[in-house]
Chains A and B, each alone.
Chain A
Amino acid sequence: MKSYFDLFGVTEEMAEKIMSEALSSGGHYCDLFFQYRSAKNLHLEDNAVNSAFNATDFGVGIRVISNEQTGFSFTEDLTFHSMLKAAKTASAIANSVNSFKKLKFVPKTETIPDYYPILKTWDSVDTKEKMPVLSKINSSVFSLDSRIIQCNISFTDTESKILIINSDGGIYTDYRPLFSLKVKVTAEENNSRESNIAARSGRYGFEFLNEDIIKDISQEAVRRTVDLFDAVKPDGGEMEIVLAPGSSGILLHEAIGHGLEADFNRKKTSLFYNKLGEKVAEPFVSVVDDGTWKNARGSLNIDDEGNKTEKTFLVKNGILINYIHDRISAQHYGVLPTGNGRRQSFRYSPTPRMRNTYMLSGPHASEEIIRSVKKGIYAETFSNGQVLIGAGDFTFYVKTGYLIEEGKITKPVKDINIIGNGPEVLKNVVMVGDDLTLDSGTWTCGKESQGVPVSHGLPTVKVSRITVGGI
Chain B
Amino acid sequence: MSAKVQVQTTINNEPVQFLCEPRQSLLECLRDIVGLTGTKEGCGDGNCGSCTVKLGDRIVTSCLVLGVEAAGESITTVEGLAHGSTLHPLQKAFLDHAALQCGICTPGFLIAADALLQKHPHPTEEQTRFWLSNNLCRCTGYDKIIRAVQAAAIEINGAAQ
A and B part of one assembly: no
